[in-house]
Amino acid sequence: MKISVCGKGGSGKSTIVALLANEARARDYRVLVVDSDESNSGLFRMLGFDYPPVPLMELVGGKKSLQQKMAQPSVLSETQIATAHIPEQYLLQKNGLKLVAIGKILQSLEGCACPMGVLSREFLKKLALEADELAIVDMEAGVEHFGRGVETSIDSVLIVVEPPLESVNVGQKIHDLASGIGVKNVWAILNKVPSDEIATRLKTELQERHIEVVGCIYFDADIFRSSLEGRMPAKGVAVREIKDVLERILSRAGLPASG
């Protein structure tokens, strides 16, 4: 399954990606995390790595030569890409968890991020997963990636929704765009929820918009504290709550509870 984690800026996409990735590993799934956010660079630390992978954008010689280089012989010019064929320096591995990054905007005036959208789309399209392998994509904030067609080969979209109404509105837009391009499963997960009352209100808002909610992660002070160091806590409320969420996602997607 290729699942893309989307939502408004700061809603907790990277946090949910890290929680899901760790829980999927604990269930013996092989996990490939794809960092498709061209702005933020801290995901590697949240996943327990000490440094980021070399972005795949380097494999094609940088943004400028992307179009020509995609066609030149490299793993990216293959029609299918198995995780095992991604060259070592582009794929970090630790405790069975793998991480690749598409690319980051590093300089002012270097141009827009469209080539990274193209690379994300092509990489995800060609990525061929084994039955016990999950790809979890940390998407850039907002909806621009839909305009670039990054989700065309994604089978599940998980929308992270936090309490402000604006986050619900962005969630609805993502839901409509994902459903519109035929993504099979589109779900929402509530995040940073401060109380049962707010959880119920958020669920009602989403149900009225015909968006299925697969879980709820309460505001977790351990997560917030750890984010000061850019890390994720190994245990705590959210680590327990994500177990039910992943179980529900796997069951909805028709996958076994463990890999």
Instruction: Name the site residues for Mg ion (rule: CB under 5 A).
Output: 13-14, 40
Q: How far apart (Å, rounded) are the C-alpha atoms in residues 126 and 222? A: 37
The strand pair at 212-218 and 81-82 is best described as unpaired
Q: Cβ closer to ligand ATP: 60 or 238? A: 238
Q: Tell me which of ligand ATP, Mg ion, none is bound by residue 49, counting a contact when its beta carbon lies within the kind-specific cut-off of 5 to 8 angstroms.
A: none
Q: How far is the CB of 46 from Mg ion (least distance, A)?
A: 9
Q: Cβ closer to ligand ATP: 35 or 133? A: 35
CA distance readout (Å), 90 to 72, 137, 198: 18, 16, 41
Residues lying near ligand ATP in the complex (CB under 6 A) are found at 7, 9-15, 37, 40, 141, 191-192, 217, 219-220, 223-224, 227, 238
Q: How far is the CB of 142 from ligand ATP (least distance, A)?
A: 8
Q: How far is the CB of 138 from Mg ion (least distance, A)?
A: 6
> Which two structure tokens, joined as six digits, stand for 51?
């440094």
Number of H helices, E strands in the chain: 10, 10
The b-or-e profile of 221-240 (16+ CB within 10 A means b, else e) is: eebeebbeeebbbeebebbe
Strand ordering across the sheet containing 97-101: 92-94, 97-101, 30-36, 133-139, 2-7, 156-161, 185-193, 212-218
| CB 119, CB 103: distance < 8 Å | yes
Q: Cβ closer to Mg ion: 13 or 30? A: 13
Q: How far apart (Å, rounded) are the C-alpha atoms in residues 35 and 103? A: 8
Q: Cβ closer to ligand ATP: 12 or 215? A: 12
Q: How far is the CB of 71 from ligand ATP (least distance, A)?
A: 31
Q: Residue 160's CB: how many other CB atoms inside 10 A?
A: 28
Q: How far is the CB of 9 from Mg ion (least distance, A)?
A: 8
Q: Cβ closer to ligand ATP: 94 or 240? A: 240
Q: How far is the CB of 29 from Mg ion (least distance, A)?
A: 22
Helix (H, G, I), strand (E, B) or coil at 252: helix
Residue nearest to ligand ATP (CB): 227
Q: Tell me which of Mg ion, ligand ATP, none is bound by residue 227, counting a contact when its beta carbon lies within the kind-specific cut-off of 5 to 8 angstroms.
A: ligand ATP
The strand pair at 185-193 and 156-161 is best described as parallel
Q: Cβ closer to Mg ion: 6 or 60? A: 6
Q: Tell me which of ligand ATP, Mg ion, none is bound by residue 103, counting a contact when its beta carbon lies within the kind-specific cut-off of 5 to 8 angstroms.
A: none
Q: Tell me which of Mg ion, ligand ATP, none is bound by residue 141, counting a contact when its beta carbon lies within the kind-specific cut-off of 5 to 8 angstroms.
A: ligand ATP
